[in-house]
């Protein structure tokens, strides 16, 4: 079960709205959604939470690039919404590197065999099929365990880095409380 909300800062304080992420497929889509909620290009925060497994905060300030914090990258990697936040840049990879490697492996058949025959040499008792089983977890292996992203994302708004890193359950409530937006977030929760 997911919860997603937008908090937009205005002259009068924070305004909250719940949001559907069904049409959001990329970080760019999410950023556009946040910018639409912005008043005079003020700060907009997007909160995404999956039942105490992980939470993410995306901060959009006007036309600046979005800033992202994820409480548990490994848990987020198992989630379709988490995958939106786990960009190549955040993970320290070259953009599209994973797709390029997969395409090259498919083109050249990097299983050390010819014509798809299994490798049965005495030095290697595994088959190409055995090697393929190891590839199932490659996406998760590339994702570090624990928090990932900009840990100072909310520091100037009242939630220091150390406190953000300590949050586990009911994190979005605690974040909203630190920002002075608990009541408005509760109206959409």
Instruction: Give 23-68 as a DSSP string.
Output: T--SHHHHHHHHHHH-STT-EEEEEEEETTTEEEEEEEETTSPPEE
pTM above 0.85, yes or no: no
pLDDT of amino acid 163: 95
pLDDT of amino acid 141: 53
pLDDT of amino acid 77: 94
Q: Which of 41, 72, 83, 75 is nearest to 59 (CA)?
A: 41
Contact 169, 178 (CB under 8 A): no
Contact 50, 81 (CB under 8 A): yes
Distance of alpha carbon 98 from the chain centroid: 16
pLDDT of amino acid 24: 92
Low-confidence ranges of the chain (pLDDT < 50): 114, 121, 124-139
Contact 144, 135 (CB under 8 A): no
d(CA 169, CA 120): 51
Which residues partner with 44 through β-bridges? 8, 60
pLDDT of amino acid 39: 75
Contact 144, 48 (CB under 8 A): no
Q: Tens digits of per-residue pLDDT, 87-129?
A: 988 988 877 655 555 555 555 555 555 455 555 545 544 444 4
Q: Phi then psi for 44, rounded to 5 degrees?
A: -125, 135
d(CA 83, CA 59): 17
């Amino acid at each position: 079960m997911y919860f997603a909300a937008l908090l937009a800062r205005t002259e009068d304080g924070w305004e909250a709205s719940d949001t559907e992420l069904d049409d959001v497929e990329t970080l760019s889509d999410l950023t556009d959604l946040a910018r639409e909620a912005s008043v005079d290009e003020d700060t907009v925060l997007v909160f995404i939470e999956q039942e105490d497994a992980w939470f993410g905060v995306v901060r959009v300030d006007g036309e600046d690039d979005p800033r992202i914090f994820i409480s548990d990258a490994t848990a987020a990697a198992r989630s379709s919404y988490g995958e939106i936040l786990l960009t190549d840049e955040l993970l320290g990879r070259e953009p599209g590197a994973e797709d390029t490697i997969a395409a090259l492996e498919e083109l050249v058949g990097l299983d050390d065999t010819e014509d798809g025959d299994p490798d049965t040499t005495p030095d290697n008792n595994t088959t190409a099929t055995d090697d393929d089983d190891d590839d199932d977890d490659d996406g998760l292996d590339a994702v570090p365990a624990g928090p990932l992203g900009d840990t100072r994302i909310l520091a100037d708004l009242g939630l220091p880095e150390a406190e953000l890193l300590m949050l586990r359950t009911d994190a979005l409530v605690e974040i909203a409380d630190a920002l002075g937006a608990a009541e408005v977030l509760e109206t959409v929760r």
